[in-house]
Every structure is written in C-alpha cells, then in structure tokens.
Structure 1
Amino acid sequence: MATRLEAMRDNCRVVTRVVGEELYAAAIDLAERLPEDVQRARLICLPIVMSITRDMIDREMRSLATQRGPSINSIATSLDLPFETVRRNILRLHAANWVEIGEAGGVTLPNPVPASLATWCVELGGRLRRIAERIEALGATDPRPIGDGSCDNSCILGALDLCLAMAGTKKHFGLRFTELLVVNFVCTASVVHLNAGGAGTNPYAEPDTVPPDAERAFIPLDELAKTIGVSRSTIYRIVSNAERSNLFERRGYAVRPAASLLGSPTYVQALQLVAGRTATLFSRIERHRCGLGCTALDQVLGRPRPWRQTSTLLPRPEIG
C-alpha cells in the first residue's frame, strides 16, 4: 500500500492544481493588504513578508526569542534575492510599521501583528484545511490528512512553508518572482476547472498525463493583469518572453501553458517537489501538540482564547 508521500507524488498534478488554486489566491489577497508605499514592489514584498511571518510564527511556537529574528542578509539568501532589493523593501515595510528591526539587525513582526496581516494568517490556515479536504475528495491522499482537532497555528505555519516552497521553484525555471507568479498562475488557472470533478475523480493527475488542448483554457491578458495587480505592459512583456521560451501558447490577447512546458522534466520535478512537501507538511501538522508557544502566538495574532479546541492543548511547547 502506497504511503501518503508516494500517493501524493504519484498524483502530483491534481495536488498542485488544488494547492495552486488556494495559495495563489492567498498571495494575491496578501498583495492587496500590503501598505500603499510598497504596492509598486508588491510581488517582491510577498515572499519577504511570508518569510518574516513564517519565521516569527515558528519562533513563537517553539518559545524562542522572537526579538532576534532573521537578518536582512539571511532573508535575501534564503529567497535568492539581491541584498539591496530586500533591504530597501524591508525599510519601506518598517516605515509602514509592518516589520520591526532590532538593535542587532534582526527583522520580525511587531507585537501585535498588523490586523490585516493577522487576519490573512488566520484565513491562510483555513485555506490549508480546504486544500487537504479537496485533495482527499479527489482521491489523491489518504482520508482526513488534517483532522478537525489539528492546531490552526500549525496549519498557518504549514501553509507559509508551502508558499515558500512554491516560491523556491523559481530556481527550476530560472525566473524572477514576478515571472514565476505569472507563469504558475497561468498554468493553474488554465486547468483549475479540473478540480471541480466529483469525489474520487482525479483526471490528469499523474506526472505523465499532460492535459490535452481541449482541457487547457486560454486566460485573457487583461484579466490576468487585473487579477495579479500589475500593469498590462508588465504582463505583456512577461507573456511575450514566456512565449518566445515556449512556455506559453498565445491566441490573440489570451494565453495558456504550452504542452511542452507541462510535460517537461523540469516542470514535473517542480510538481513532485510541491506535492511531496505538501504530504510532509500534512504529517507534521498531524504530529503537532499545542503548548505554551501556541498560547503566546494567539496573543501575537490578537485573537482571544478559546478559538481552538481545548482538547488539543497539551503541555508540550515543541512542534512536531
């Protein structure tokens, strides 16, 4: 009998379709919540904010010293971004009171977290639960990968880890974050209708099953620019470059992913990486037991207790 990891890697296309549908929507939602001063660099600020938020939540749940936080250089290195780009945008976020920079140079979130970001984090945890439910319904994983009693804080941390894992696939394609978001968004939006199948249906789920032309919808460029929140000129430039690289097929003012991209070893490797990471995170959430760290995080996110089932509150501060 296949393990959860094996099953989800074998069904990597359906897993990543579901993951992409929820997490790209979450990324666009967060971009709209960012301070006005960083809106022009919103797609660069997304992974920066996610990385800082993920580090803060992990430290709180482990009851570590959150005031230290990662340095600007470590954030730039982990995201594979130029140091000066990261420094400039962190200073803008700091001016907008979205991050704090300690005396030792560590970057973390203020306490309490900005209300819009805290709300987004709570909603992100719910998105991960929906991902698990949908993947289960489509028959791509074992029953109840995330139980009702699982900690919401652990779900938030898992979803942020998954967002950063997807952002890390830019190394597979040699793309910048803006280009990666556009390419992956088009790949997901073009076939997202396949997620609407009935229980136990997972068409074009395995690595070698590329959706045929009839199943790959064209995405209008104007709609793409409006949804992602960037100018049409930027979208046209990215799409033109992607078309020349045989990543996209274009019909008038609409695009869809090319079959050569969807069937390429590089793309399949990225799908299996994300699917495998999703399975690992589901297992980590299952093993987690709440402790003092989760209680502290409740305060940081500005949510009064009890908001979780008290039966999950065990005297263990570590995360599984």
Structure 2
Amino acid sequence: MNSADADGPRIYRPGVRMAASYFLDALDRMVRFSGQDLGPCLVFMGTVWANVSWAAEGDDDAPLPAEVDRRPVSIYRLADNLSMPYETVRRHVARLDAAGFVRRDPLGVVAPDAVFTTAQAADVMTGSWDATVRLRRGLEALGVALPTPAATVPPQALPWVGRLSAAFVLGGVDFITQAIESDPVSCLIYLAVNRENLASLLADAERVQPYIGADAIVPDELRQPTSVYRIARVLGLPYETARRHVVKLVETGWLERLPDGGLITPGRSLAHPAMQEAAMQAWPLVRRFLGRTATLGLGGAGDV
C-alpha cells in the first residue's frame, strides 16, 4: 500500500491541490527574480538541482551537506530531465547565459555562485522556506502526520531548502506533464487555470466546506472561468505563447472553452485516470519533500 492509499483521497487529493499551488507560487518567485519567462525559469531550476543533486542522494532522513561544488549538466540531460525539446532548452540556456544566471563550460551548464549571493536571491530562498512552512501547516490541518522537525537549523538550511524546493516543483510538474502527454509549460497552464477556477470558491468558507478534504471534484458550474490573458499574466508568459498552449490543451480535452470564451479545467479532465494516477504519484513526493526539509529544522517552533 502506498502513502496515498494509506492516507485516503480525503487527504491526499486536497494535499496535492495545495502542492500544485506551491508549484505555481515557486515559479512566480523565480519569474520575478530572474526577469525571464516561464520556460527559462524551468531550465534554471533544472540546472540548479542537477548541479547539486548528487550531494542529496542517499538516506532521506540523513542531514544534507552544508555546501557543495556544483557539477555541470549537459543540455541533453536538462532536456531529458525537463521533458522539453533539446532546441528549446538550448535557446533558454542561451538567454540565461546572456543574463548571467548560468554559465557554459566544456562540461555543461552551471549556475554560478554569484547568482545566489544577491539580496534578491536571499528573498527567493526565504520565500521558499516560508511557502514550505505554509504547505506543512496546511497539510497538518488536514490531519497529515509529518516527521518532527530537527531541533536545530544548520547554517546552510535556507539555501538547501531552496534547492530541494526546486526539485520538488520539477518532480511534481513532471508527473502532470506525463499525465497530459505534453510539456511543462502546458502542465503549469493547466494547474494555473484550475487554481483560478477555484480561487473564489476556496475563499468562501461556507461554500467550500463540502470540498475541503473531500473526494468529490468541484462541479464545473462552480468554477470561475478565467482567460488566456489572465493566465499569461499569472505565469509570466507572453500572451501568444500562453494562447498556443491553451489551444492545444482545449483540443486534447484537458481544458474547456465555454461559449463566452472563458476557460475551465472540466471535471472530466480531473477525473481522468491519468490525472488520478498523477495525483497518487505526487503525494509520496509531497511527503518525501516535507520529510527531507524537516531534517533541516523547517517547521519547528520558530516557524510561525
């Protein structure tokens, strides 16, 4: 029995919904930090994690090392890791290189130390820490039992949580990307449309009660439609890029365009076996991420 089965849909489905919102917020912080579009931000996050992932291997309960030398990653490996075309990743790397967020050497692509020493980078890492605390608190409110945080916070905990957060986001996005048989940008558009659809409902304490911790999927008629323009703004995408991805998602049935032009994630897409499987696969990832960050002291008494 996997952890999703053990917790049951009344916990893991709303938990995965919280995680999806976490993914979107993490990408928003990265877009604002880098001044780049969503695509280059995904490549940057993939580079950051690939550079240090070797140091995070092993026992999930073991403390992570304080600081590591970054190992270059090839564009081919990045493209494979991110489920993105090689040429697309190559273009994004060129943009990131020109902006100073990565550097190219004969062995591959590296995120240089200078990127992580600015006040803006510190704000991103603090934002990752705070967002992870909120995710943990939200899951605890659902009744999810999580590992007790370490009593002390090691000096390099903040940057390591930022790096683990990048891996968590990329892993979760990958599950949904596979479910919709598309690319990470389309996946994030799908998640953003769903969040926009549910935002007003989730903000209404009375109306949302039947759907908190419930197995039921919110009916289509309760979803607040959104627009391509709004999604482009939310994700930091050029409008035309967002429009092309939306057209593809509508054609494949993952999104639905209403007669007035509004967009929703229809209940049938959320109930699709591939999407149900993606949610079940993502749930252990959520637990693993929060377990690993707990070893760094995240979620302790000092986090309010």
What's the TM-score bracket when you normalise by the shorter of the two chains? Answer: 0.7 to 0.9
Alpha-carbon offset, residue 261 of structure 1: 0.2
CA distance in 1, matches of 2:220, 2:4: 31
Q: Any idea what SS the aligned residue of 1:247 has?
A: coil
Contact 2:149 2:295 in 1 (8 A): no
1:134 equivalenced with 2:138 (yes/no): yes
CA distance in 2, matches of 1:209, 1:270: 17
| Residue matched to 1:303 | none
Give the match's secondary structure for 1:219. Answer: coil
Residue number among 73, 90, 110 corresponding to 2:93 in the alignment: 90
CA distance 1:109–1:84, change in 2 (3 Å):
same
Residues 239 and 91 (structure 1), Cα distance of their counterparts in 2 relative to 1, 3 Å cut: closer
Q: What CA deviation, in whole Å up to 9, does each residue of 1:246-287 have, x standing for no partner?
A: 222323132111111011111111112222200111222234
Residue 181 of structure 1 deviates from its aligned partner by 1.4
**Amino acid of the structure 1 residue aligned with 2:162:** I
CA apart distance, 1:27:
0.6
Structure 2 distance, partners of 1:145, 1:185, is 32
Structure 2 counterpart of 1:27, one-letter code? L
Is 1:72 aligned with 2:75? Answer: yes
Residues 72 and 109, structure 2, Cα contact 8 Å, conserved in 1: yes
CA–CA distance in 1 between the matches of 2:42 and 2:5? 26
Task: Give the gaps of 5 or more residues in structure 2.
Answer: 57-63
CA shift digits 1:102-139 (9 cap, x unpaired): 3x4132221232523443133112211111111212x1
Question: Aligned residue for 1:22?
Answer: 22
Mapped partners of 2:227, 2:129: distance in 1:
30
| Range with greater deviation from structure 2 (232-241 or 174-183) | 232-241
Contact 1:47 1:167 in 2 (8 A): no
The C-alpha deviation readout for 1:155-193, integer Å capped at 9, x for no partner, is 323321211112212122111222221112112222245
CA contact (8 A) 2:4 2:12 kept: no
1:45 aligns with 2:47: no
Q: Find the counterpart in structure 1 of residue 111 from structure 2.
A: 109
How far did 1:212 drift? 1.6
Determine the structure 1 residue equivalent to 2:285: 277
The corresponding residue for 2:61 is none
Q: Does residue 6 of structure 2 align to residue 6 of structure 1? A: yes
1:68–1:6 distance in 2 versus 1, CA, 3 Å: same
Pairing partner for 2:269 from 249, 255, 261 = 261
SS in 2 for 1:112: helix
- Structure 2 length normalisation: TM-score? 0.78
Aligned length: 282
**Alpha-carbon spacing, 1:7–1:49, altered in 2? closer, same or farther (3 Å):** same
1:15 positional shift: 0.9
Q: In the TM superposition, what is the alpha-carbon distance from 1:219 to its structure 2 partner?
A: 1.6
SS in 1 for 2:114: coil
Alignment CA distance shift 1:238-1:126 (3 Å) = same
- CA distance 1:117–1:149, change in 2 (3 Å): same
For 1:202 and 1:83, the matched residues in 2 are separated by 45
Shift of 1:53: 1.8
